[in-house]
Amino acid sequence: MAVDPLAQAAERSTFDAASFKQSDTGPKGLRWWREVGWRYIVGALGIAFALMPVYFVALASVSPTATLQGAQLVPRAVTLDNYRELFDSTPFFTWLWNSIKIAGGAAVANMFLSAMAAYAFARLRFAGRRPGLLTILLVQMFPQLLANVAIFLFLVNVSNYFPFMGFGTQLGLFLVYLGGALGTNTWLMKGFFDTVPKELDESALVDGATHGQIFLRIILPLSLPILVVAGLLSFIFLFNEFILASILLGQADDNQTLATGLFRFIDQNYGQQWGPFAGGALIGSLPTLLLFLFLQRYIVSGLTAGGVKG
């Protein structure tokens, strides 16, 4: 995927009726509309539906009023005041950094732990392998957020012994996120490792390599695409995670992630801070949005790997 999709999108952001007609040797006129033309209209409607809120937010972020009131379809004036207000009145970049740090760190760690387990399930034969795989599948049915009360009380308890990793600490939240390491991703990776030819590690074993070396030097490099997908999905999930972060991070403003910080910012007198919030929403959306657009192809294959054979 050498072409930058964003640039491409900017370049051809409008549907130009002339451009599709000229090159075709296919159907023309009414038949063209029946077979192909209507698809453009469906696509355009879909895009309008998808982008409408984004348009309003972008508009609000550069509008001269900070409040929700007085929205217009076309901006009358453009200013960066809302962004200035956001950076002045909130530790916005601390929140963003906290989110990237916690979600990114946990995603990388989860990816590695998951890959290790997947290697064992894909390459080694041992008692309890099948039950182990089943257990992972079953445990995954019970998302951590359901156990939020227990996790909260557990971390409060931990604070009594190890305050640096208990309730109200980012390290505590990070460790809690590690609990989700073995799960869907393990299955995804095991499926991928199964497709790496076994002859490669067998010949390495003959040459005296250990399983640790095979894992690190052969399997991981060959499985880079699936590692990227698994890590990315895990990052996006954790970047979005709200309930555990809001329960476990305590009240300190500098301790919040983007999700909990922006929520607290906008939740008190909703509507008054709409403009600055809109600015924050746009900037805060960039990390996942860019990752998504640039790694689109990998993600599609990763998402469908679970269900689609082909």
Partner 1 sequence: MSKAPAARVSYADRLADRLGAGSVTGLLLKLLFLGVVNGLSLYAVLTLLPMREWTPLVVVVLATVAIDWVYLSSRRIPLKFLIPGTIALLIFQVYPVLYTGYIGLTNYGTGNVLNEQQAIDRIIADSITVPDDAIRYQSTPLVDDADELALLLTDPEGEIFLGTGDGLTTLEEGDIVGEGADRRILDTYRPLTLREVGDREAEVLAFAVPIDAEDVEELAVDTEADAISVQTFNTAAVAIQRLEHDAATGEIVDLVDGTVYTAIEGTFTAEDGSTLRPGFREFIGFSNFERVLTSPAIRGPFMRVFLWTFAFAVLSVITTFVLGLALALALNDPRLKLRRTTRSLLIIPYALPSFMTALIWRGLMNTSFGPINEVLGVDIPWLTSQAFAGALPKASVLLVNLWLGFGYMFLITTGALQAMPEEVKEAARVDGASGWQILRRITLPLLLVAVGPLLIASFAFNFNNFNTVFLLTGGGPPIQGTLTPAGHTDILISFSSRLAFAGGRGQDFGLAAAISTIIFFLVAIFSYIGFKRTKVLEEIN
- Interface with partner 1 (CB under 8 A), residue from 154, 220, 222, 225: 154
User: Which region among 64-72, 77-85, 88-96, 220-228 touches partner 1 (by CB under 8 A)?
Assistant: 64-72
Largest Cα span, the chain: 77
How far does CA 289 lie from the centroid of its chain? Answer: 8
The burial of 167, by beta-carbon neighbours within 10 Å (0-12 exposed, 13-18 middle, 19 or more buried), is given as buried
- Interface with partner 1 (CB under 8 A), residue from 33, 87, 97, 133: 133
- Interface with partner 1 (CB under 8 A), residue from 66, 107, 182, 227: 182
| 51 in Cβ contact with 289 (< 8 Å) | no
- Interface with partner 1 (CB under 8 A), residue from 100, 108, 175, 228: 175
Residue 235 CB neighbours (<10 A): 23
Is 15 a binding residue for partner 1 by CB under 8 A? The answer is yes
Q: Which two three-digit tokens encode residue 249?
A: 């991070």
| 308 in Cβ contact with 245 (< 8 Å) | no
User: Which region among 67-75, 77-85, 87-95, 223-231 touches partner 1 (by CB under 8 A)?
Assistant: 67-75
Q: Give the x-and-dash track for 184-213 against partner 1 (CB under 8 A).
A: x-x--------------------xxxxxxx
Shortest Å distance, C-beta 193 to partner 1: 11
- Restricting to residues 263-302, which ones interact with partner 1 according to CB under 8 A? 263, 266, 270-271, 274, 277-278, 281, 284-285, 288-289, 292-293, 296, 299-301
- Restricting to residues 16-55, which ones interact with partner 1 according to CB under 8 A? 19-20, 24, 26, 35-36, 38-40, 42-43, 46-47, 49-51, 53-54
Shortest Å distance, C-beta 224 to partner 1: 19
Q: Which of 241, 240, 228 is nearest to 291 (CA)?
A: 228
Three-state DSSP state, 76: coil
- Return all residues near 147 (Cβ < 8 A) that are at least 6 apart: none
E strands in the chain: none
- Interface with partner 1 (CB under 8 A), residue from 79, 87, 97, 147: 147
